[in-house]
Amino acid sequence: MSKKAFIFDLDGVIVDTAKFHFIAWQRLAASLGINFTEKENEQLKGVSRVNSLKKILEWGNKEISPAIFQTKMDQKNEEYLELIKTLDVNDILPGVHDFLLELKELGQPIALGSASKNARPILEKLGIKDLFDVIVDGTDVTKAKPDPEVFLNACNHLGYTAIDSVVFEDSVAGVQAANTAGMISIGLGEQDILHEADEVFTHFTNMPQDYIKTLLNKKKQ
């Protein structure tokens, strides 16, 4: 059987943490007198912590000193960590666990490609860290999505080329990163939002039977 590198985003693909990032950012923004909605939050998905705060400040037309900027980033992360304190295996999104186990059974290489600096402890909480052959997260890269660095780094570590890699993403920035890298991009979420992806599903459970085999034969358009 042929092989491909299967690269997964974390937040919003493997685990339902996107809503906690949103709540934490919304509270943080409110502390700065800035209001933002779920629509704008879509633009923060996949975006690094530092770039997210920059965007929020831009939307609110606010400037803060570098020291306060750092304090606010720390504050957001503390809030977020509090919100995900009770995260466990039950928070893995539908179909993901089975999909990963099927890949393992088929001997396909698996990587994580996440912008989050909390990725490793989250995978540990979920009890699935050992399923990943390679983990690349926000602590390993210098350029944030939509830059393809995180995914290129992941496929290089697995020993694969970009054209033999498949990326699973819930964010516009992440889909763009995969496309820029020349990788097959599979969107998890709404077609309207993720229309740049090669294919979109609402959940892993909506993928057709034998979809892994389809992906193994698929070529980047």
Binding site for ligand BG6 (CB under 6 A): 10-12, 21, 44-49, 52, 77, 114-118, 138, 171
**Binder of residue 148, out of ligand BG6, Mg ion, none (CB less than 5 to 8 A by kind):** none
> Taking the complex as a whole, how short is the minimal distance between the CB of residue 46 and Mg ion, in angstroms?
5
Asked if 171 interacts with Mg ion (CB under 5 A), we say yes
Question: Site for Mg ion (CB under 5 A): which residue of 7, 11, 41, 165?
Answer: 11
Residue placing its CB nearer to ligand BG6 in the complex, 11 or 198: 11
* 147 has catalytic annotation: no
Shortest Cβ 188–Mg ion spacing (Å): 8
- How far apart CA 6 and CA 21 sit, in angstroms, is 25
Q: Which is nearest to 178 in space by CA: 2, 9, 4, 1? A: 9
Q: Which residues contact 86 (CB under 8 A, 6 or more apart)?
A: none
As a whole number of angstroms, the distance between CA 156 and CA 148 comes to 12
CB of 123 to Mg ion, least distance (A): 14
- Give catalytic status of residue 198 as yes or no: no
> Would you state the structure tokens that stand for residue 184, as one six-digit string?
């097959």
Q: Which is nearer to Mg ion, 16 or 63 (CB)?
A: 16
Give the C-alpha separation, 135 to 155, whole Å: 10
Q: Which stretch binds Mg ion (CB under 5 A): 19-27, 42-50, 90-98, 188-196?
A: 42-50
Q: Strand pairing partners for 200?
A: 187
CB 177 within 8 A of CB 145: yes
List active site positions. 9, 11
